[in-house]
């Protein structure tokens, strides 16, 4: 089987963890810890090759991908000592001539990001962006199979631009950010991918074991136990490592994701997406959310202020407070805390999504991959119970069709309007 060639939009910390993680597993094939699926349809990490990237930062554009991945402001942990290219190591996952090309900024940089020091924010220079047609040509030239969207939260126009690029270039698409292409205008977007014979996974990457995964599991387990959940509050904050305790207290330790979300006008889609996780387990069980307090707040507990001695850190803290009622009206209260390295948490999911796209493509499946989207994303086109989503992924990993996928083959000539969609409101419970 040929390599799965991947292009990355946004060569940030998440991209760094994904690429380095793939190389780590290639160099340590006996280590399966952290991989949800060591094998998907015959493809392992050794079959993934990163062939190009796109970015706006002058420290990354026109640089080799292996070099750009370690440029500021990236701050995720190092999984390997050196990022090898194919010319240096048989275990490498980066094509030796892989470069980072200049992308259009559009709405990819929030205005307030210019107020932070260069070492923790994006630096856009005078390097002209590649034109739309030139970008399509480059993607075709590098024979890309899957495009990964790792743009900052709030990049609504930019994401739609890259969807147009992907369709024109004929490549599959994984939307890791909460531009809700899988819920807003879902059928129109899906039909375009169907007509192009392509697959898409989206939207908003759900980490391997992050706040959303934990909320989903807790919510689902309580409902399945017959409890009535009346309150589920999830709060997220940038925390920093234990080595930066003096900075943790001032809230001045963060990665670009948290700095980007310091302004509420950048957060709308993220709020909607994270609350979709809380509501989703009710929706698939036909349980009403009326009267419930459901709230998921990214970066709301941290007062981020421009300037000062910011220390880049990839550590995230999530706090959970849940209230439920059970047998005979008995009250349950639960509080939990989760501390994670944010970017590797992403890599552990996206490494599966890439391979699901390729296998589905080879099986003639087109449109949204509903099982993988429900398993790996916060706002999939259709919400599924956790076990159902996992079963769909298991089947695809074994190259088996299910009732859900057999109607999405090219031979079945699917119409998006006839496929299942869970339409969710484009606003949170706290918006008028």
Query: What distance in Å separates the CA atoms of residue 428 and residue 178, rounded to the nearest whole number?
Result: 14
Collapsing DSSP to helix, strand or coil, 175 comes out as: strand
Q: How does residue 299 score in pLDDT terms, banded at 50, 70 and 90? A: low
Q: Are residues 190 and 218 in the same domain?
A: no
Bridge partners of 318, per DSSP, are 236, 338
Omega of the bond leading into 203 within 30 degrees of 0 (cis):
yes
How is residue 208 annotated by DSSP? Answer: T
> Is the model's pLDDT at 369 over the cut of 50?
yes
Mean pLDDT of 329-340: 96
- The answer to whether residue 428 sits within a structural domain is no
Residues 221 and 193 in one domain: no
**Global confidence as pTM:** 0.91
For residue 296, the model assigns a pLDDT of: 85
Whether residue 159 is contained in a domain is answered as: yes
Angle subtended at Cα 181 by Cα 264 and Cα 139, rounded to the nearest 5 degrees = 110
In a domain, 107, yes or no: yes
Whether residue 57 sits in one domain with residue 162: yes
If pLDDT is split at 50, 70 and 90, which confidence band does 29 have? very high
CATH classification of the domain holding 81 = 3.40.50.720
pLDDT above 80 (res 297): no
- On the question of pLDDT at 301 being above 50, the answer is no
Quick one: 30 and 163 in the same domain? Answer: yes
Helix pair 211-224, 386-397: axis angle to 10 deg? 120
Which candidate, 270, 259, 254, places its Cα nearest to that of 315? 254
Tokens describing residue 156 = 């609504």
In a domain, 431, yes or no: no
256 with 195, same domain? no
CB 344 within 8 A of CB 317: no
Tokens 């900024």 -> residue: 105
Q: Rounded distance, CA 36 to CA 200, Å?
A: 19
Same domain, 337 and 356: no
- Structural domains counted in the chain: 2
pLDDT tens by residue, 69-105: 999 999 999 999 999 999 878 789 999 999 999 999 9
Which of the two residues, 420 and 267, has the higher pLDDT score? 420
Between 85 and 178, residue with greater pLDDT: 85
Residues 194 and 312 in one domain: no
What are 108-139's pLDDT values in tens digits?
Answer: 988 888 888 888 889 998 789 999 999 999 99
- For residue 303, tell me if it sits in a domain: yes
351 with 310, same domain? no
In contact, 139 and 169? CB cutoff 8 Å: yes
- Domain end, chosen from 320, 342, 364, is at 342
Task: Return the pLDDT at 178.
Answer: 84
Does the structure show a pLDDT above 90 at 254? no
Q: Say if residue 241's pLDDT is above 90.
A: no
Query: Whole domain around residue 149: which residue ranges?
Result: 4-207+345-418
Distance, in Å, from the CA atom of 372 to the CA atom of 183, rounded to the nearest integer, reads 15
| Token pair 């950048």 in the structure block, residue | 266
Q: What is the CATH number of the domain that holds 322?
A: 3.30.360.10
Q: Which of 299, 322, 342 is the last residue of a domain?
A: 342
Give the C-alpha separation, 177 to 377, whole Å.
9
Cα–Cα distance measured from residue 256 to residue 72, given in angstroms and rounded to the nearest whole number = 10
Mean pLDDT of 367-375: 96
% of residues, the chain, pLDDT over 90? 67
Question: Which has more confidence, 394 or 313?
Answer: 394
- Do 193 and 215 share a domain, yes or no? no
Res 371: pLDDT:
97
Confidence of residue 165 (pLDDT cuts 50, 70, 90): very high
Residue 250 in 3-state DSSP? coil
Provide the strand spans (E) within 249-407: 253-254, 293-298, 311-312, 315-325, 331-341, 367-368
225/283 same-domain check: yes
Task: Say if 429 falls within a structural domain.
Answer: no
Contact 396, 371 (CB under 8 A): yes
Q: Across residues 285-298, what is the average pLDDT?
A: 87
- DSSP structural state of residue 237: E
Question: 96 and 122, same structural domain?
Answer: yes
Arithmetic mean of pLDDT over the chain: 88
Give the whole-number percent of the chain exceeding pLDDT 70: 90
| DSSP three-state, residue 39 | coil
255 domain-assigned: yes
User: What Cα–Cα distance (Å) separates residue 88 from each residue in 7, 69, 82?
Assistant: 20, 17, 11
**Number of helices followed by number of strands (H, E) in the chain:** 12, 13
- 402, 422 Cβ separation under 8 angstroms: no
Closest by CA position to 414, among listed 377, 383, 388, 381:
381
For residues 330 and 191, state if they share a domain.
no
- 146 vs 295, residue with greater confidence: 146
> Two tokens at 277?
């996780």
Give the per-residue pLDDT at 5: 98
- Domain end residue (candidates: 342, 369, 385): 342
- The verdict on residue 423 lying in a domain is no
Whether the pLDDT of residue 66 is over 80: the answer is yes
């Amino acid at each position: 089987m040929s390599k799965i060639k991947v292009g990355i939009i946004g060569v940030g910390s998440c991209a760094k963890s994904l690429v380095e993680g793939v190389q780590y597993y290639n160099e340590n094939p006996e280590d399966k810890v952290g991989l949800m699926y060591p094998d998907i349809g015959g493809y392992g990490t050794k079959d993934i090759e990163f062939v190009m990237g796109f970015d706006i930062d002058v420290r990354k554009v026109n640089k080799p991908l292996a070099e750009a991945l370690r440029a500021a402001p990236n701050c995720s942990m190092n999984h390997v000592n050196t990022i090898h290219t194919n010319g240096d190591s048989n275990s490498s996952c980066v094509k030796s001539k892989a470069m980072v090309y200049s992308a259009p900024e559009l709405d990819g940089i929030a205005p307030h990001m210019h107020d932070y020091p260069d070492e923790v924010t994006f630096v856009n220079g005078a390097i002209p962006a590649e034109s739309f047609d030139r970008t399509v040509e480059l993607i075709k030239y590098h024979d890309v199979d899957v495009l990964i969207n790792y743009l900052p939260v709030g990049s609504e126009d930019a994401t739609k631009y890259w969807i147009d690029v992907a369709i024109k270039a004929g490549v599959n698409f994984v939307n890791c950010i909460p531009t809700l292409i899988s819920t807003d205008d879902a059928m129109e977007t899906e039909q375009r991918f169907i007509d192009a014979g392509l697959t898409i996974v989206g939207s908003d990457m759900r980490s391997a074991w992050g706040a959303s995964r934990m909320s989903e599991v807790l919510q689902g387990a309580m409902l399945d136990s017959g409890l009535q959940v009346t309150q589920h509050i999830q709060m997220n904050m940038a925390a920093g490592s234990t080595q930066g305790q003096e900075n943790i207290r001032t809230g001045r330790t963060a990665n670009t994701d948290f700095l980007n979300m310091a302004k509420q006008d950048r957060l709308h889609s993220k709020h909607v997406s994270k609350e979709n996780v809380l509501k989703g387990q009710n929706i698939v069980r036909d349980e009403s959310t009326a009267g419930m307090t459901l709230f998921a707040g990214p970066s709301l507990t941290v007062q981020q202020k421009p300037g000062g001695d910011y220390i880049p850190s990839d550590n995230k803290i999530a706090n959970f407070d849940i209230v439920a009622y059970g047998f005979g009206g008995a009250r349950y209260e639960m509080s939990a805390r989760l501390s994670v390295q944010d970017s590797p948490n992403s890599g552990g999911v996206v490494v599966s999504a890439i391979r699901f796209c390729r296998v589905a493509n080879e099986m003639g499946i087109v449109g949204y991959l509903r099982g993988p989207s429900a398993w790996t994303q916060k706002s999939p086109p259709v919400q599924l119970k956790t076990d159902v989503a996992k079963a769909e992924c298991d089947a695809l990993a074994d190259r088996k069709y299910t009732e859900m996928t057999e109607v999405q083959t090219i031979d079945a000539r699917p119409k998006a309007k006839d496929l299942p969609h869970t339409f969710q409101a484009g606003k949170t419970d706290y918006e008028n």
